[in-house]
């Protein structure tokens, strides 16, 4: 979110120490006065900037004039409405931006209840008007209260009564500043989950009384949601038949679960999964998306005459409210998986939705994903991405290849390149996994299956996805379904010529022996499957490994959200290589990668 918080008391709080020592020395008193004057100066200089009316295309010389005009001509008093609706600093910012962007009439503004979706939408944290002085003044600047007069008096108080009033006013102001700061901290850590940034803010607090330097807020969302506003990305996803057909297959062949269910589609995009859910008999579907694509989803739902079942709600799932009468849902369906499974960090949002909206015993779809890890010979890809640079028109451009070792490479490798049995390096059961567990460190042991000595250039990572009809975990013996070219699953769900789907023609989920077990639908993004848009994630090795049959590559795979961008991943792979007959102590290799 492009949050511009310039309210001086939010980013430049008073030193909390002062509150604990009311008997301050005279020099500290002077400092207080200096701070006060500085703040007053900020408010004053802002208030004196040209300012546009909230309701008309007229600009006034000062904020006060603009406010006075809006009050006398349109009956709009910001302080009154803020108090009536109990608006916190962020809601006040959203209100101004909403008025500026949507141009409601003053009577529409007067009729607001405080529960309108824009009060919780990040979209309206972005200034609608560049450098809007109304966003930069404090709420108390909107009116001429006695208290403000008390604070604005630059000269020392003349008698005890006015000194007491002034101290009380300052204390109230300090309390408000502390509350705002606490709110702000909570807001930042909830939205961005950034322990680092909170620490930065703490440091900034400590420095603030002397420097008044504001810490810019980081925004990992705007670009992310913008990228989902594009048509192309949705076209790629929908055309990924392994992906879309598997979702369709699960939803449409589990009508017993979907019939009359209340479903939430987290990150609905075009609304495709919601449409499947409605077709499967859902009573009500709430389709949530924070990107502009939500507007397209609304049109799509209407065009398919499903607006009596599907309600598209635009906003981050973390912020939205369900309509009156709805509290919990029976099923959460979401396609949240990113490259290397966790790139994008959308799973955090889905888990948030689970904790807030899924009824006890409800179904998460998918219900489980597993990150798979294997040795990958990757000779061809190595030549293409790295070897290629060493001879370009007879010149050595190898310097271009070095980054390849720092960043994971997303590309397709064939099944023949995999030279060990894959192992599960992270098993994510959506029923109970927590966001904290998404930063992890897992040991692995890969045994070469090569029948001759070869050079292994990389590790490969991919994921398998499972949907169980009950939302329960898969039994250990369950095998992932590998989609092959020409597989009926691709044709059954989306037959050539776009004929409507008929549930009875569907094959059931992947076979599971025994009765009473949940029906399972699954797909793999591994090299053995028809390639998906996720491809595979390749970690090239600076030192290729020499392996023969039985060589053991053992180590630890660490994965965590990047501290620079919470949607990116930092991966660390520590490993040793040991041939079966070798008795020496092997060297430990460590390589760091970014998935970005």
Q: Which stretches of the chain bind ligand SAH, using CB under 6 A?
A: 225, 228, 234, 237-238, 267-270, 272-273, 288-291, 293, 316-318, 335, 346, 349
Whether residue 267 contacts residue 241, with contact meaning beta carbons closer than 8 Å, is answered with no
CB of 193 to ligand SAH, least distance (A): 12
CB of 226 to ligand SAH, least distance (A): 9
CA 407, distance to chain mean position in Å, is 21
Whether residue 264 contacts residue 332, with contact meaning beta carbons closer than 8 Å, is answered with yes
Is residue 591 classed exposed, middle or buried when 0-12, 13-18 and 19+ CB atoms within 10 A define those classes?
A: middle
**Nearest CA among 240, 255, 334 for reference residue 524:** 240
Q: Which of 14, 123, 148, 335 is catalytic?
A: 335
**Nearest CA among 350, 347, 335, 286 for reference residue 313:** 286
**Nearest CA among 130, 138, 94 for reference residue 112:** 94
Whether residue 277 contacts residue 297, with contact meaning beta carbons closer than 8 Å, is answered with no
- Closer to ligand SAH at the Cβ: 67 or 313? 313
Q: Which of 14, 138, 148, 344 is catalytic?
A: 344
How far is 527 from 460, CA to CA, in rounded Å?
9
CB of 344 to ligand SAH, least distance (A): 7
**Hey, how many other C-beta atoms are within 10 angstroms of the C-beta on 579?**
17
- Closer to ligand SAH at the Cβ: 137 or 293? 293
**Nearest CA among 312, 191, 336, 206 for reference residue 263:** 312
With b meaning 16 or more CB within 10 Å and e meaning fewer, what string describes 487-503? bebbebbbeeeeeebee
Whether residue 468 contacts residue 519, with contact meaning beta carbons closer than 8 Å, is answered with yes
CB of 462 to ligand SAH, least distance (A): 18
Whether residue 550 contacts residue 580, with contact meaning beta carbons closer than 8 Å, is answered with yes
How far is 561 from 341, CA to CA, in rounded Å?
12
- Closer to ligand SAH at the Cβ: 14 or 464? 464
**What residue is closest to ligand SAH based on CB?**
267
CB of 124 to ligand SAH, least distance (A): 16
- Closer to ligand SAH at the Cβ: 349 or 369? 349
How far is 292 from 229, CA to CA, in rounded Å?
5
- Closer to ligand SAH at the Cβ: 228 or 539? 228
Q: Cβ neighbours of residue 535 under 8 Å, at least 6 residues apart?
A: 339, 410, 411, 412, 525
CB of 296 to ligand SAH, least distance (A): 10
- Closer to ligand SAH at the Cβ: 109 or 273? 273
CB of 209 to ligand SAH, least distance (A): 37
How far is 477 from 152, CA to CA, in rounded Å?
74
- Closer to ligand SAH at the Cβ: 268 or 282? 268
- 3-class secondary structure per residue, 35-98: HHHHHHHHHHHHHCCCEECCCCCCEECCHHHHHHHHHHHHCCCHHHHHHHHCCCHHHHHHHHHH
With b meaning 16 or more CB within 10 Å and e meaning fewer, what string describes 519-531? bbbbbbbbbebbb
CB of 297 to ligand SAH, least distance (A): 9
CB of 424 to ligand SAH, least distance (A): 25
Distances (CA, A) of 126 to 1, 31, 88, 264, 574: 7, 34, 16, 27, 43
Helix (H, G, I), strand (E, B) or coil at 478: coil
CB of 354 to ligand SAH, least distance (A): 12
Distances (CA, A) of 107 to 20, 64, 115: 46, 21, 17
End-to-end CA distance of the chain: 19
Length of the chain: 596
CB of 269 to ligand SAH, least distance (A): 3
- Closer to ligand SAH at the Cβ: 270 or 369? 270
Told to judge if 344 belongs to the known catalytic residues of this protein, a careful annotator would answer: yes
Q: Cβ neighbours of residue 512 under 8 Å, at least 6 residues apart?
A: 475, 477, 478, 518, 519, 520
Whether residue 354 contacts residue 318, with contact meaning beta carbons closer than 8 Å, is answered with no
Active site residues: 335, 344
């Amino acid at each position: 979110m492009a949050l511009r918080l310039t309210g001086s008391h939010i980013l430049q709080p008073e030193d909390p120490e002062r509150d604990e020592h009311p008997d301050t020395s005279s020099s500290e008193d002077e400092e207080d006065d200096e701070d006060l004057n500085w703040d007053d100066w900020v408010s004053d200089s802002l208030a004196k900037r040209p300012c546009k009316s909230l309701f008309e295309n007229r600009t006034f010389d000062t904020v006060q004039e603009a406010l006075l005009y809006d009050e006398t001509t349109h009956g709009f008093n910001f302080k009154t409405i803020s108090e009536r609706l109990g608006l916190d600093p962020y809601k006040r910012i959203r209100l101004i931006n909403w008025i500026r962007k949507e141009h409601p009439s003053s009577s529409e503004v007067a009729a607001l209840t405080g529960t309108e979706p824009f009060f919780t939408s990040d979209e309206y944290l972005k200034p609608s008007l560049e450098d809007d002085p109304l966003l930069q003044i404090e709420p108390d600047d909107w009116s001429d209260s006695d208290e403000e007069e008390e604070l604005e008096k630059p000269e020392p108080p003349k008698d005890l009564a006015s000194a007491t009033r002034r101290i009380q006013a300052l204390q109230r102001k300090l309390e408000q500043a502390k509350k705002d700061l606490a709110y702000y901290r909570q807001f930042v850590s909830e939205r961005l989950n950034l322990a680092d940034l909170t620490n930065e803010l703490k440091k900034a607090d400590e420095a603030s009384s002397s420097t008044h330097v504001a810490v810019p807020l980081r925004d990992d969302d705007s670009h992310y949601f913008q990228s989902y506003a594009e048509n192309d990305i949705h076209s790629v996803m929908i055309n990924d038949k392994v992906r879309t057909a598997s979702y369709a297959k699960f939803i449409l062949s589990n009508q017993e679960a979907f019939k009359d269910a209340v479903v939430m589609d987290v990150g609905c995009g075009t609304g495709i999964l919601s449409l499947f859910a409605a077709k499967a008999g859902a009573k009500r579907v709430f389709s949530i998306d924070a990107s502009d694509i939500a507007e397209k989803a609304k049109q799509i739902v209407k065009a398919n005459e499903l607006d009596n079942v599907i309600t598209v709600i635009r906003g981050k799932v973390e912020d939205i409210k369900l309509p009156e009468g709805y509290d919990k849902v029976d099923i959460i369906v979401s396609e949240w998986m990113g490259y290397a499974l966790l790139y994008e960090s959308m799973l955090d949002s889905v888990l948030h939705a689970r904790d807030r909206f899924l009824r006890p015993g409800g179904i998460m779809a998918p219900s489980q994903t597993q990150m798979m890890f294997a040795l990958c010979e990757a000779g061809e890809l190595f030549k293409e991405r790295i070897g290629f640079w060493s001879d370009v028109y007879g010149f050595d451009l190898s310097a271009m290849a070095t980054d390849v070792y720092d960043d994971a490479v997303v590309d397709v490798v064939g099944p023949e390149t995999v030279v060990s049995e894959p192992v599960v390096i992270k098993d994510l059961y959506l029923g109970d996994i927590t966001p904290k567990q998404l930063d992890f460190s897992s040991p692995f042991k890969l045994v070469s299956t090569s029948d001759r000595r070869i050079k292994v250039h990389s590790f490969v990572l991919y994921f398998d996805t499972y949907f169980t009809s009950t939302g329960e975990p898969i039994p250990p013996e369950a095998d992932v379904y590998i989609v092959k070219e020409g597989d009926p699953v691709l044709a059954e769900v989306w037959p050539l010529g776009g004929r409507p789907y008929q549930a009875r023609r569907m094959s059931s989920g992947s076979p599971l022996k025994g009765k009473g077990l949940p029906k399972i639908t699954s797909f793999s993004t591994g090299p053995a499957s028809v390639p998906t848009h996720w491809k595979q994630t390749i970690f090239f090795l600076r030192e290729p490994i020499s392996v023969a049959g039985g060589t053991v590559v053992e180590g630890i795979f660490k994965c965590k959200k990047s501290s620079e961008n919470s949607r990116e991943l930092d991966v660390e792979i520590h490993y040793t290589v040991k041939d079966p007959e070798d008795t020496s102590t092997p060297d430990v290799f460590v390589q760091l990668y970014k998935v970005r």
